[in-house]
Amino acid sequence: MVQQSFYPCDSVGIFFDDKNMSGNTLGKIFCVTNFGESHGKVVGCVIDGCPARLPLDEEVIQKELDRRKPGTSRHVTQRQESDQVQILSGVYQGLSTGTPIALLIPNTDAKSKDYTDIEHLFRPGHADYTYWKKYGIRDPRGGGRSSARLTAPTVAAGAVARWWLKNHLAIDIQAYMLQIGTQTIAFEDLLFVNQNPFFAPCQDTEYLATYLDHLRKSGDSCGALLQVIARNVPVGLGEPIYDKLDADIAKVMMGLNAVKGVEIGSGFDSVEQLGSQNGDIITTEGFLSNHAGGILGGISSGQDIVVKVAIKPTSSIRLPRPTINTAGEASVISTLGRHDPCVGIRAAPILEALMALVLIDHVLIHRAKNEH
């Protein structure tokens, strides 16, 4: 049954012809401008607003990029990218100078021929369709601009942010997997998170491997649920009314490819809670619970910031599905390129980077208006 016909965009003058966008900058003071395409020469970003005299070299950034990079296990895309970052500017003799830091990550393993079949077809659940309608042109190679590859510059910029946050405020950020598809993960210890390919906080992840092997062979994909926690965040961050800390966290998390839901603290469970349960009691020794997820009235409370993120299944799957082409004709599509069967698996380092980027920006904004 057809649930909704196409919006007749062509009949509305303003949504017809050549189109454009911007919106590729994140942050107000610590600003990250992202550029590049999946199969272009490079992906990269410019960080404008990093405080001066931060000790900085490629190593600091590379460490985080390596956690995100593809090809590290059979459960993620087999594209082989070393993701070697180059610092082009803004660092002199090992210190940031306060000027823009341009970061470049060359693309080395782009197999664009894999994608020629889908140049004129829209993958269900993919941005192919909307990019085409918005701009009247798109770079289809590897998903072009809508590829998850564009999270690499975000991770690189986030590495600088978390390094600064670590050095100056001892803020610590960690993301981990709560669920892959139907497989929930019992929390054991954060120590395990970086010891398995799933960022799972448990020792035995064989059942996840089995689940994903099966899924991959079936040609299908699945979603994931992750949690990200920031510790040692000072009380007072966030700019109500509109630029609240939770608002900005929700923005960056929902803005990550494939994310469809964001919760702070008790999140959707708050609906059924009573006020007497949900309100975290304050004692002379601290809060007795953290239903608020570390944010009250849009301002950090000094408790851990706790965020949950739902990621939908990868939209590029091998299973054939009906679709239409750019000419509007019916067709069938089966995506053969290299794809993550569960795009959420590599999300942990990205969520950490996004959290770091929001926090550093709010720290700097807050500092702007402090008395001394």
By the 8 A CB rule, do 202 and 178 touch? no
1 binds a second copy (CB under 8 A): yes
The binder of a second copy chosen from 84, 216, 261, 338 (CB under 8 A): 261
Residues between 120 and 159 with contacts to a second copy, criterion CB under 8 A: 122-127, 129-131, 133-139, 144-146, 150
Q: At what angle do helices 151-169 and 58-68 cross, to 10 degrees?
A: 130
Mark the segment that binds a second copy (CB under 8 A) among 15-23, 57-65, 75-83, 204-212.
15-23
User: Does residue 61 have a cis bond before it (omega within 30 degrees)?
Assistant: no
Q: CA dihedral in degrees (206, 207, 212, 218; nearest 10)?
A: 130
Q: How far is the CB of 256 from a second copy (least distance, A)?
A: 8
59 binds a second copy (CB under 8 A): no
- Closest to 72 in 3D by CA, of 257, 281, 340, 328: 340
Residues between 18 and 37 with contacts to a second copy, criterion CB under 8 A: 18-26, 28-31, 33-37
The binder of a second copy chosen from 61, 155, 208, 310 (CB under 8 A): 310
297 binds a second copy (CB under 8 A): yes
How many residues make contact with a second copy (CB under 8 A)? Answer: 178
Q: How far is the CB of 222 from a second copy (least distance, A)?
A: 6
- Pick the closer one to a second copy by CB: 174 or 323: 323
- Closest to 351 in 3D by CA, of 127, 146, 177, 106: 177
Per DSSP, the residues of 164-221 read: HHHHHH--EEEEEEEEETTEE-----GGGGGGSTT--SSS--HHHHHHHHHHHHHT--
- Pick the closer one to a second copy by CB: 173 or 317: 317
Q: How far is the CB of 191 from a second copy (least distance, A)?
A: 20
What gap in Å lies between CA 101 and CA 274, rounded to an integer? Answer: 48
347 binds a second copy (CB under 8 A): no
The binder of a second copy chosen from 195, 324, 334, 338 (CB under 8 A): 324
What gap in Å lies between CA 292 and CA 295, rounded to an integer? Answer: 6
Total Cβ atoms within 10 A of residue 18: 8
With a CB cutoff of 8 Å and minimum separation 6, the contacts of 363 are 165, 169, 234, 237
- Pick the closer one to a second copy by CB: 106 or 195: 106
The binder of a second copy chosen from 68, 69, 346, 366 (CB under 8 A): 366
Q: How far is the CB of 61 from a second copy (least distance, A)?
A: 16
Backbone phi and psi for residue 307, each to the nearest 5 degrees, phi listed first: -130, 135
The binder of a second copy chosen from 108, 207, 329, 336 (CB under 8 A): 329
In the stretch 60-89, what mask flags binding to a second copy with x, by CB under 8 A? ----------------------------xx
38 binds a second copy (CB under 8 A): no
Quote the tokens at residue 38.
């999946």
Q: At what angle do helices 151-169 and 347-368 cross, to 10 degrees?
A: 50
What gap in Å lies between CA 111 and CA 337, rounded to an integer? Answer: 8
- Pick the closer one to a second copy by CB: 7 or 207: 7
What gap in Å lies between CA 312 and CA 320, rounded to an integer? Answer: 19
Residues between 189 and 248 with contacts to a second copy, criterion CB under 8 A: 215, 220-225, 232-244, 246-248
Mark the segment that binds a second copy (CB under 8 A) among 3-11, 69-77, 187-195, 206-214.
3-11
